[in-house]
Amino acid sequence: MRRLVGLILSLLVSGGLSAPAVTATPPSDRAPGARAPAAPNVASAIVAGRVNRTSLFLPATYEVRASLNFASARLSVISYMVVTNRSGGGVDRLELNTVAARLGAMTDLEATVDGRAVSPTVSDQTIRVPLGGVLPDDGSASVRIAFRARFRIGVAGHNYLFAKHNSTINAYRWIPWISRATPFDRPNFGDPFVTPASRSVRVAIRTDQPMPIATSGRRVAVDGLTQTFLATNVRDFNFTASPLYRRLYGMVGQTRITVFHLPGGPGQALLDETKASLYRLNALVGQYPHPTYTVAQSAGGYALESPGHVWLPPVESWRVPYLVRHETAHQWFYGIVGNDQAREPFADEAMADFLTRYTLGSFRQGACSSSRLDLTIYDYSSACYYELVYVKGANVLNDARRRMGSEAFWSAVRAYTQAYEGKLSHTGTLLRFLDSRTGVNLSTLFRTYFPSLY
């Protein structure tokens, strides 16, 4: 019995019971598709037919092997997903989101479903994977995706999401992830993504030379040039990497913070501000959920949130407190409580900026006169997106706090965070939740800014 328990434990620890089995060797940079495809799964749940339907309610786990050639700025990826249909009806395709499709000059794209080759197609930043039939509700399928990509050189425009610059690699939204077709192009720096959380993401990255890698997960193994990371309950897994990175460490409660910075970079300032942010936000919003938090100096572009991981581009030192607080606040709003960042940016950006400005005492009037806070990122101009959704959005939430009283407001925010942990929420859900936790009528306030919701 003891031996059996030991065997089961060792299988669990080694990942031996998880499916699909993935060998420890990452793909060769030359031949990411060289691994023999799994034998067709005779027990496949997929049945013949068509329903012309996909869904966001397809929880998936991801086992990914990547080969990063830093010198040539290339990435080879094989991702094994186990997808379960919880959408309440049949689906016959996946719509996987990756910016590699838009920015990475993606080639050699291949996919199999339950061991059978299918023909994926790419449109904008979406890989559409036909399942070869219908996956019924509650059915599961194993999906393998392989591709190669090339990082942009330089961080101009949106290129910073998938780029090499300053001896650093930025890799955002590179694992093809369950999503729905969402346009990449927008007139501002809004995040054109919507991704449900995954309970398990295991990523092995082999590099062509030794280098620290800052990721959404915690590092669980190092084997030569291959580093393996595990992340749980995350809606993305991103990384930066640089052979020049130095590391600084800190703890806040049970959370281990690692700052990855370049020589001469503001490592200590990033660490100090990250610790201050976590202390404050843990108390206001609820406990940060991951065992690790990595803060990385990125190749450039905008500061950007990821689950358990944030990017700070090279910036003037006076901007560090605001940016660290804002991106750390996204750990709760976007990370723990998800939303469609493209279509309802208020739900995460206004909350993140409100938390930032509340803890820094830096509220100010927005510079744009419109009062619409219920639009998509595609509807705001470059000049007004930030001024409205972030600055004015923060003011509206602060107004709600003042009307409710701080105690009732923060209690409501914590209850909302718990109620929607791991889920995708909406702007209307947030506003109605706040409204339901107070005797004060907030709808008169919200009606001005959210005419499509009130």
Q: C-beta of 383: minimal distance to Zn ion in Å?
A: 17
Instruction: Select from 34-42, 110-118, 311-319, 349-357 the region that touches Zn ion (CB under 5 A).
Output: 349-357
Q: Residue 222 CB: number of other CB atoms within 10 A?
A: 9
In the stretch 161-190, what mask flags binding to Zn ion with x, by CB under 5 A? ------------------------------
Q: Taking the alpha carbons of 108, 114, 119, 123 in that order, is the dihedral positive or negative?
A: negative
Instruction: Select from 46-54, 126-134, 346-354, 416-424 the region that touches Zn ion (CB under 5 A).
Output: 346-354
Q: C-beta of 251: minimal distance to Zn ion in Å?
A: 25
Identify which of residues 54 and 341 has a Cβ nearer to Zn ion in the complex. 341
* Dist. CA 188–CA 326, nearest whole Å: 18
Residue type, 445: L
Q: How far is CA 140 from its chain centroid?
A: 23
Phi, psi (5° rounding) for residue 96?
-100, 135
Q: Which two tokens stand for residue 324?
A: 């660290």
Identify which of residues 174 and 332 has a Cβ nearer to Zn ion in the complex. 332
Question: Binding-site residue total for Zn ion (CB under 5 A)?
Answer: 2
* Dist. CA 194–CA 210, nearest whole Å: 33
Q: C-beta of 443: minimal distance to Zn ion in Å?
A: 26
Q: Is the previous residue joined to 345 through a cis bond, with omega within 30 degrees of 0? A: no
User: Per this entry, what is the length of the chain?
Assistant: 454
Inter-residue contact 285 to 417 (CB < 8 Å): yes
How many Å from the N-terminal Cα to the C-terminal Cα in the chain? 62
Q: C-beta of 425: minimal distance to Zn ion in Å?
A: 16
Identify which of residues 63 and 305 has a Cβ nearer to Zn ion in the complex. 305
Identify which of residues 58 and 352 has a Cβ nearer to Zn ion in the complex. 352
Identify which of residues 151 and 172 has a Cβ nearer to Zn ion in the complex. 172
Q: C-beta of 184: minimal distance to Zn ion in Å?
A: 18
Instruction: Select from 29-37, 292-300, 352-360, 402-410 the region that touches Zn ion (CB under 5 A).
Output: 352-360
Q: C-beta of 73: minimal distance to Zn ion in Å?
A: 27
Residue type, 20: P
> For binding to Zn ion (CB under 5 A), which residues are involved?
349, 352
